Amino acid sequence: MLKECEKLISALAEHDVDCALMTSLANIRYFSGFTSEDAVLIVSAERRVLLTDFRYTIQANQQCPDCEVRQVSRGITPAEIAEVLTNIGAKRCAFEDGYLTVRAFNSYGELPVELVPMTEVIDRCRLIKSEGEIALMRKAQSVSDRAFSELLGIMRAGMTEKQVANELDYLLRKHGADENSFDTIVGSGPNGALCHAYPGERVLQEGDMVVLDFGSKVDGYCSDMTRTVAIGQPCDEMMKIYSIVKEAQRRALEALRPGITGKELDAVARNYIAEQGYGECFGHSLGHGFGLYVHEAPYASMRSADVLLPGTTITIEPGIYVEGLGGVRIEDCCVLTEDGFINLVASPKELILL
């Protein structure tokens, strides 16, 4: 993890900060290799100190050969953190204001340093993915593709959304996922208009479009995909909507390249959907980065100034949602390269009628 820490130390130096105090699981994992909860990581130019309790010290010593592992009390007190900061000689310390509870932040008032909120600076050290990270995300997506393919032979009219979600979650693990990237979304018929539909007791019926949004996590890294399938023959309007979303995604993928901003990419799909008369029915952003978190920088939205660089990740997920009728979303997860991108998703996008 030395290379990852070098990026962080360089970023801290630019802001005249002596060290970083990290409590988020993703950043602790990225900068130390430690994979469990209940830990605090402190990184400075000279030292990397991981604080954790008795339950995890053997694991920490195995996973974090480049860190000093300190066994502390369960709950890790401000006094234990303060001792490390004093020994380091830190005066200004970055912290993750985006992840702390109010209670934890208030307890940090006891620390003998000036606390500098730097969540974005710390997180953006993870922006450019390594070949090893890309390989894990590719593996996670392969798991999702295989699970989806098998699910198509199981889904049918008469099943509930919850049954479909349970089958899919089982298949993700069967094919190698450690866990889901997020709670599986299944929205059938009119429930497809709920962008983040929670699988319920609604029974799949002939003519339904079904939105399936799901992801796998392998060795900490996430995938994210959405496919919309039909139970029997949908109505003409839903068929039209599917064609529009599919074309909007195709256009966005065609425009995807290093150097484009998130706002420019979002506009490619959004403008096309608006031209087809459904602009008010596409209310979310076009996409987001993914890695140790399923949602992380960069972002493709109407306001995003993020520039997509080689090694960054982005999802392309336009959608149209009509209350009372249904919804369609198609999502691929992609990795930018020097001259284009790699689409990690292999599942077909032609409408599948079950």
pLDDT value at residue 25: 94
Domain 131-343, architecture per CATH: Alpha-Beta Complex (3.90)
Interacting residues of 161 by C-beta distance below 8 A, sequence separation 6+: 186, 187, 188, 191, 197, 199, 200, 201, 202, 204
Return the structure tokens found at 125: 């050290």
φ, ψ of residue 116 to 5 degrees: the values are -120, 115
Handedness of CA 42, 43, 49, 53 (dihedral sign): positive
pLDDT (average), residues 49-69: 97
Model confidence at 324: pLDDT above 80: yes
Name which of 239, 185, 221, 238 is nearest 333 in CA terms. 221
Peptide bond into 298 cis (omega under 30): yes
Q: How confident is the model at residue 248 (pLDDT cuts 50, 70, 90)?
A: very high
Domain 2-125, architecture per CATH: 3-Layer(aba) Sandwich (3.40)
Please give the model's pTM, rounded to 2 decimal places. 0.94
pLDDT in tens, 160-217: 999 999 999 999 999 999 999 999 999 999 999 999 999 999 999 999 999 999 999 9
Model confidence at 344: pLDDT above 90: yes
Model confidence at 261: pLDDT above 90: yes
pLDDT value at residue 2: 77
Q: Across the chain, what does the average pLDDT equal?
A: 97
Model confidence at 37: pLDDT above 90: no
Model confidence at 223: pLDDT above 80: yes
pLDDT (average), residues 212-240: 98
pLDDT (average), residues 320-324: 98
Name which of 171, 216, 213 is nearest 192 in CA terms. 213
Domain residue limits, the chain: 2-125, 131-343
d(CA 62, CA 58): 6
Name which of 239, 270, 234 is nearest 252 in CA terms. 270
Q: How confident is the model at residue 296 (pLDDT cuts 50, 70, 90)?
A: very high
Q: How confident is the model at residue 3 (pLDDT cuts 50, 70, 90)?
A: confident
pLDDT (average), residues 47-74: 96
pLDDT (average), residues 64-76: 94
pLDDT in tens, 97-137: 999 999 989 999 889 999 999 999 999 999 999 999 999 99
pLDDT cut 90: percent of the chain above it: 96
pLDDT (average), residues 146-155: 98
pLDDT value at residue 158: 97
